[in-house]
Structure 1
Amino acid sequence: MLTAKAEIIKNLIDGDWVSSGNEETLNSINPANKEEVVAVFQASQVEDVKRAIEAANQAFQSWANTPPSKRAAILNKAADYLESNVEQFAEELTREEGKAIGASKKEVMRSAQTLRYYAVEGQSHTGETFPQDDPDMKVTSELEPLGVVTVITPWNFPISIPARKIAPALITGNTVVFKPSSETPLIAYRLVEALYHAGLPSGVLNFITGNSRDIGDSLVDHPAVKAVTFTGSTGAGERIHKNVSLDTRTQMELGGKNPIIVMDDADINQAAQLTINGGFSLTGQACTGTSRAIVMKEVKEKFLQALVEKTSSLKVGDGFKEGVTLCPLASEKQLQNVLNYIAIGKEEGAYLVYGGEQLTEGEHHSGYYMEPTIFSNVTPNMRIAQEEIFGPVIAVMEVESYEEAISVANGVDYGLSASIVTNNLKTAQLFTKEIQAGTVKVNRTTTGNLINAPFGGVKKSSTSTFRESGRAGLEFFTQIKTVYVGS
């Protein structure tokens, strides 16, 4: 059903807001109330994508020649727009994705901060001058933009992830074709609206919505596309990587199976709270979320008791309600995926310690709610210990030594984020060297990363090439030209 509040979102192609060529649309549903349509957006087709890429290609040279200070001014003005509309945009984000309203406000503000960060850092992203023996020659390197960049983003951080990709792409002189997740097109549109309102020239940023199965390949295999930056599932990332041409650069942030190791000298209450914060925040729908708690045998029962006790006090509900810790899962598809993995865990012989059920009564009747879930007696070969679930499910695994803990932690295909809880500095330092992960933490949750620090994974969590965030996030969007000038 189309509610009174539902906004109709059009594509942005070459500076014009337009419907898809076939005029078909899709609905964005409120996961807390599946009867509410939050937004109606375009079900774009291949021809729409081609038009967007061609527009970006036509706009490229002019934008590349635009002074960096003018590009930065646009990013700063767009940040102003987000900040001045934070209340409205946060409310829309909660209605569309389901997360708590406080988290939504932080995400909108973080996106504004990202725009401002790259407005500054991008202006000092330059080449080098190289010493050499010929006094009549000067050797320098110059950093040039790549061209058209395709940006494809997920639904779990539907404005902050696009911001950290689009801002560095634009400040370095590239043009962009942006496809957000079909679950969260409205808040993605707000970011585009902010940049458009700030004076971005026509064709520099083009916005396309629709199903990946219809337009996914056409977004990456067009010869004008010189780079693809993608955050999403490992399977989708592998497909993109195979479909791009040899001269198309890729940046992939993919799945995770992130561990927290709890040593026998750890503060158990702290360890349990860190595990809950990492595993159940955003209802477990974070790529850096804690999904495995690898615990020393001596403290496993004490840890499990503290984990269950703290979990039992969590409140599941609508993100607009006070005191809610776990909000709905983002979609029916996501809910069913998590429930399927819970069934798999039971079949594999893991012991269901807490939760594991969908919530359908009372205030939960109209949303995609479920209980936070804890499994114990999980062994390394189980699927729930190996595969990304992307929901509020924590697998507790018992080990007898630090060496075994590291072996178990590293014994998966992923390497995005990892943490250890210990009071032993030597153990902590050893962990930071031996763990196979792109983000490594000590006595902190596996979740969260700074705007100004590099972010990315190893193994199948990333292409292990270019990092996002920080100054490192600029490198993906430029190529080096070495210039020799003699007199």
Structure 2
Amino acid sequence: MFAPYSHEPLTDFTIEENKRVFEKTLKDVSFQLGKEYPLIIGKERITTTDKVVSINPANKEEIVGVVSKANKQLADQAMEAALEAFETWKKEKPEACAHILFRAAAILRRRKHEFSAYLVKEVGKTWKEADADTAEAIDFLEYYARQMITLQHGVPVLSRNGERNTFYYIPLGVGLIISPFNFPLAIMAGTTVAAIVTGNTVILRPSDRAPVVAAKFVEVMEEAGLPSGVLNYLPGGGAEVGEYLVEHPKTRFISFTGSRAVGCRIYERAAIVQPGQKWLKRVIAEMGGKDAIIVDKDADLELAAQSIVSSAFGFSGQKCSACSRVVVLEDVYDQVLNRVVELTEQLTVGNPEEQSTFMGPVIDESAYNKVMDYIKIGKQEGKLMTGGEGDNSKGFFIQPTIFADVDPNARIMQEEIFGPVVAFTKAKDFDHALDIANNTEYGLTGAVISRNRSNLEKAREEFYVGNLYFNRGCTGAIVGYQPFGGFNMSGTDSKAGGPDYLLLHMQAKTICEAF
């Protein structure tokens, strides 16, 4: 019925026509900025007095949009709408649910540049990063729709003489989706539609730093034919409203992407059985990383340097998969470090609306101050090789920053900075490098650059991360190709874009009929 799943292609902006079209789309979107967006609860569009104002991080004077802010009363209203919609949505045929995702993917594909332009404006993504974010959102829609069609009949189980056994999956109920700013379309869309296509209804709480992109996506789902109440858009309200919904006795599961601190808090609060609660809540969490690239002594050093730069500084290092630690064997340490510094100093930092820009701003003033504080710490813990400067006069710009000769136990080697800062440390041999790489509380991504097959196989067994890459960077997992999720304090190892992800949103039911 449908072609096999394949990765959504990225736009080639070296083609003049593609460049021209995207420049025009950026201008068109500029004329749409500053609009107000209501909450969407069931069939109602609700405007509140309190607002979330979304600001362009590259230009603090530019308002991307103004979004109504939720409160506890509206959270209760959203829960009631989701519960009511669940009674009919859970009975919908899986093919029908999947077809809504297919249609939404087609709409998103037609509006690809528009959504990418909003990503440039709202979170400061460069052309390439924004295009990849939109492509990944399309991938999630297509992949999960196809996967649900496969899962709809369950899994065969054995039957004995005189009985027939069946084993299949049913939805959980109402889910709370808490999505991040750094992939405000891809992760927000992926976590939302995974819950919806499996027969659940959801309350979506997007990041307050990126509520407009989420509002636009909700419009797409409505246009695709999603019934009212299945997806309720409830931004704002801060931790108070978020925690209220986490603890709500009718919340069946929480799907969260964000910081370790918030993820652990959600996990803790969700474990408490509230009065009237009939189930143990399920938590799907992706909580960040402190990701290392190991460079072996016989590695392709140019490949290593290029991989480090792209992994450390893509989207200003604001990726849970970003390379923030580099572990280099002492034989080639100086060569790799010097080449990475050289490449980094060639990067263009500035307005993400310009095609030539490699790196735009960090997301807001809070992030800017946090990263600059870590740079101060880094100056005490290591040798500053390049960068270390920030400029928040117009936007929140920080130069890509490299520290050398850092102790593996230093703060900038252990704590997630979530900015364009990378620390280098030296290893005596490959075993020592693995020890350093594993020496954090996280376990999300990692990479090894090596020509030594024995060392690669050792890393395969001993490098303890959920996504391990050989001879490439440690970012850029593709839906269906590299299912994504980490170990330890990186979360619940919920592999987004993988063969078992949808199962996290369902429960299995066994039926035995005796004859």
> Could you say which TM-score interval applies, normalised by the shorter chain?
over 0.9
Bigger mean CA offset, 176-185 vs 468-477:
468-477
CA distance in 2, matches of 1:15, 1:435: 49
Structure 2 residue aligned with 1:252: 285
CA distance in 2, matches of 1:118, 1:131: 27
Deviations 1:283-303 (A, max 9, x none): 100000000000011111111
Question: Any conservation in 2 of the 1:122–1:168 contact (CA below 8 Å)?
Answer: no
Query: What does 1:121-132 correspond to in 2, within 5 Å?
Result: 121-125=147-151, 126-132=153-159
1:359 to 385, 391, 395: 391
Opposite residue 467 of structure 1, the aligned amino acid is: K
Please state whether the residue corresponding to 1:130 is helix, strand or coil.
coil
Deviations 1:123-153 (A, max 9, x none): 1114223224x31101121201000011001
Query: What does 1:134-213 correspond to in 2, within 5 Å?
Result: 134-213=160-239
Question: Any conservation in 2 of the 1:375–1:394 contact (CA below 8 Å)?
Answer: yes
1:401 to 426, 429, 433: 429
Matched, 1:114 2:114: no
Task: List runs of 5+ in structure 2 lacking aligned partners.
Answer: 1-30, 274-279
**Cα deviation, residue 261, structure 1:** 0.2
Matched, 1:342 2:375: yes
Query: What does 1:284-363 correspond to in 2, within 5 Å?
Result: 284-347=317-380, 349-359=381-391
Bigger mean CA offset, 430-439 vs 80-89:
80-89
Opposite residue 338 of structure 1, the aligned amino acid is: V
Question: Any conservation in 2 of the 1:152–1:230 contact (CA below 8 Å)?
Answer: yes
Question: Any conservation in 1 of the 2:39–2:69 contact (CA below 8 Å)?
Answer: no
CA distance in 1, matches of 2:83, 2:58: 40
Matched, 1:462 2:488: no
1:50 to 76, 91, 94: 76
CA distance in 1, matches of 2:261, 2:400: 26
**Cα deviation, residue 4, structure 1:** 7.5
Please state whether the residue corresponding to 1:481 is helix, strand or coil.
strand
Matched, 1:5 2:33: yes
CA distance in 2, matches of 1:254, 1:417: 12
Opposite residue 77 of structure 1, the aligned amino acid is: R
Opposite residue 355 of structure 1, the aligned amino acid is: G
CA distance in 2, matches of 1:371, 1:25: 32
Structure 1 residue aligned with 2:19: none
CA distance in 2, matches of 1:202, 1:46: 21
**Cα deviation, residue 34, structure 1:** 0.4
Deviations 1:160-217 (A, max 9, x none): 0012112221111011110000000011111111101111111111010104323111
Please state whether the residue corresponding to 1:129 is helix, strand or coil.
coil
2:63 to 31, 37, 40: 37
Q: How many equivalent pairs are there?
A: 477
Matched, 1:434 2:462: yes
Deviations 1:99-143 (A, max 9, x none): 1123212322321232122111111114223224x3110112120
Opposite residue 389 of structure 2, the aligned amino acid is: E
CA distance in 1, matches of 2:366, 2:385: 25
Opposite residue 385 of structure 2, the aligned amino acid is: V
Please state whether the residue corresponding to 1:391 is helix, strand or coil.
coil
CA distance in 2, matches of 1:449, 1:56: 32
Matched, 1:268 2:301: yes
Opposite residue 454 of structure 1, the aligned amino acid is: P
CA distance in 2, matches of 1:471, 1:61: 27
Structure 1 residue aligned with 2:8: none
Aligned-CA RMSD value: 1.5
Please state whether the residue corresponding to 2:501 is helix, strand or coil.
helix
Bigger mean CA offset, 177-186 vs 109-118:
109-118
CA distance in 1, matches of 2:343, 2:237: 39
Please state whether the residue corresponding to 2:289 is helix, strand or coil.
coil
4+ long deviations beyond 6 Å:
none
Percent of counterpart pairs with the same letter?
Answer: 35
Structure 2 residue aligned with 1:224: 250
Opposite residue 457 of structure 1, the aligned amino acid is: G
CA distance in 2, matches of 1:81, 1:127: 30
Question: Any conservation in 1 of the 2:129–2:314 contact (CA below 8 Å)?
Answer: no
CA distance in 2, matches of 1:196, 1:93: 20
CA distance in 1, matches of 2:81, 2:383: 55
Question: Any conservation in 1 of the 2:303–2:472 contact (CA below 8 Å)?
Answer: no
Question: Any conservation in 2 of the 1:454–1:472 contact (CA below 8 Å)?
Answer: no
Opposite residue 475 of structure 1, the aligned amino acid is: L
**Cα deviation, residue 232, structure 1:** 0.1
Please state whether the residue corresponding to 1:135 is helix, strand or coil.
coil
Q: TM-score, normalised by structure 1?
A: 0.95
Deviations 1:405-428 (A, max 9, x none): 111111100000000000011111
**Cα deviation, residue 454, structure 1:** 2.3
CA distance in 1, matches of 2:185, 2:129: 12
CA distance in 2, matches of 1:412, 1:4: 44
Question: Any conservation in 2 of the 1:467–1:476 contact (CA below 8 Å)?
Answer: no
Opposite residue 487 of structure 2, the aligned amino acid is: V
Task: List runs of 5+ in structure 1 lacking aligned partners.
Answer: none
Opposite residue 336 of structure 1, the aligned amino acid is: N
Q: TM-score, normalised by structure 2?
A: 0.90
Deviations 1:451-486 (A, max 9, x none): 11421110100124x322122211111101111111
Please state whether the residue corresponding to 1:44 is helix, strand or coil.
coil
Please state whether the residue corresponding to 1:156 is helix, strand or coil.
coil
